[in-house]
Amino acid sequence: MTSNICIFRNAFVVQDKHKQQKGLSRSPVLSSPNSLSKLGRSRLFNISKNCVGEGEPFLRERKMSKAGALDLASGLGGKIDKSDVLSAVDKYEKYHVCYGGEEEERKSNYTDMVNKYYDLVTSFYEYGWGESFHFAPRWKGESLKESIKRHEHFLALQLGLKPGHKVLDVGCGIGGPLREIARFSSTSVTGLNNNEYQITRGKALNRVAGVDQTCDFVQADFMKMPFPDNSFDAIYAIEATCHAPDAVGCYKEIYRVLKPGQCFAAYEWCMTDAYDPNNQEHQKIKAEIELGNGLPDIRLTRQCLEAVKKAGFEVVWEKDLAVDSPLPWYLPLDKSHFSLSSFRLTAIGRFITKNLVMGLEKVGLAPQGSQRVQAFLEKAAEGLVAGGQKEIFTAMYFFLARKPHSDSE
């Protein structure tokens, strides 16, 4: 009974309205919060509240994340020597348009740029977000943490994960989604990440969570994966492959290591069709998001979809999940929003963090350059909120794609 409750607490089950594609079996689609009746949403939400945050797992989870000021200070800079953090910030900023950088330079040096970014920001992310560094569509009355877990379960359900499946998380961060999906679906999940600091942190969290025997990490570039062909039963990416300098090349690698007949699902960061490349305000918003999030370039949703097809996948269905979300996905970063459950992400919480970092840097507990990292993350938050409000950017363009059984299929 418990397993059934935990499945349905995250499922928005509706009849699929997408066109059935040749050769693809269709099942009910698990869609956005608006897909259920008011009564259905109420029942599922009540079940969710009873499943989340109770007992020993909840207490263990609270102990896992770095939560205090000294934890924040100790992690700043990641694997970068503390004396080199300021120089790393300089180099990172110069990659971006806001500081005169060029797109081609970001793409050709994406490994260095993205690694510097995550060394510099991971401690801030964990301090503010916990272990899962991503957004989610959200119900009214639903906490940020609950929405994030549901968003992760949604992927697992879309992929049809079953006990014993071998799954790959592409761009796994410190493994928050990896651990949640592994526990939810009783699968073995491998996290692929090119950042040494995040992998070190993720392995430690796996041990605390008790999933270190079924979940592991591999340090590698997702443009050149160190796996044999046809290795995985399912693959997913959560707001990660937006870091790829070439979407087609990245998706081709995913295609190569996925078993024939199996699926790849992703949430992508994209500019929407409402984005006008000739509009200076739109350009500024895009540049702020790229600077604050370590991105070489943000693709349009249609470019992303075309890249999936060029890689050889059959698209089962795709949708911008931000469109039907009752609450804006960017709400946690909106300065007009206040929440005790995600206090550190609010305007007041970020102001406190800013002054905290200033003080820690002044007394030498945080490395020089930490304030500048906090500053470009704040700029990123402004860009994300503006992009969401103007509907020119989405953090949750979803697609489910299948690798054919044969190239001729």
Sheet holding 314-320, edge to edge: 216-219, 188-193, 166-170, 232-238, 258-271, 393-402, 314-320
Cα dihedral across residues 228, 234, 237, 238: positive or negative:
negative
Residues of the chain with pLDDT under 70: 1-74, 99, 337-345, 349, 407-409
Q: Structure pTM? A: 0.81
Helix (H/G/I), strand (E/B), else coil: 173 = coil
At 60 the pLDDT is 47
Amino acid at 99: Y
- CA dist., res. 112 & res. 336, Å (int): 36
At 50 the pLDDT is 39
Q: 187 pairs with which residues across the strands?
A: none
At 56 the pLDDT is 46
Domain layout of the chain by residue ranges = 58-409
At 151 the pLDDT is 97
CB distance 14 to 28 below 8 Å: yes
312 backbone φψ class: left, alpha, beta (φ>0; ψ -120 to 50): left
At 74 the pLDDT is 64
At 61 the pLDDT is 46
At 14 the pLDDT is 34
CA angle 118, 122, 105 (to 5 degrees): 15
Helical pair 144-159 and 176-185, crossing angle rounded to 10 deg? 60
Helical pair 370-389 and 85-93, crossing angle rounded to 10 deg? 30
Amino acid at 253: E
**207: which 2 tokens?**
């041990």
For 58-409, CATH number? 3.40.50.150
- CA dist., res. 350 & res. 375, Å (int): 10
Give the residue carrying structure tokens 């998706």: 251
CB distance 151 to 180 below 8 Å: no
At 260 the pLDDT is 98
Helical pair 38-51 and 144-159, crossing angle rounded to 10 deg? 100
At 131 the pLDDT is 94
Catalytic residues: 239
Q: What are phi and psi of 266, to 5 degrees?
A: -150, 155
At 72 the pLDDT is 63
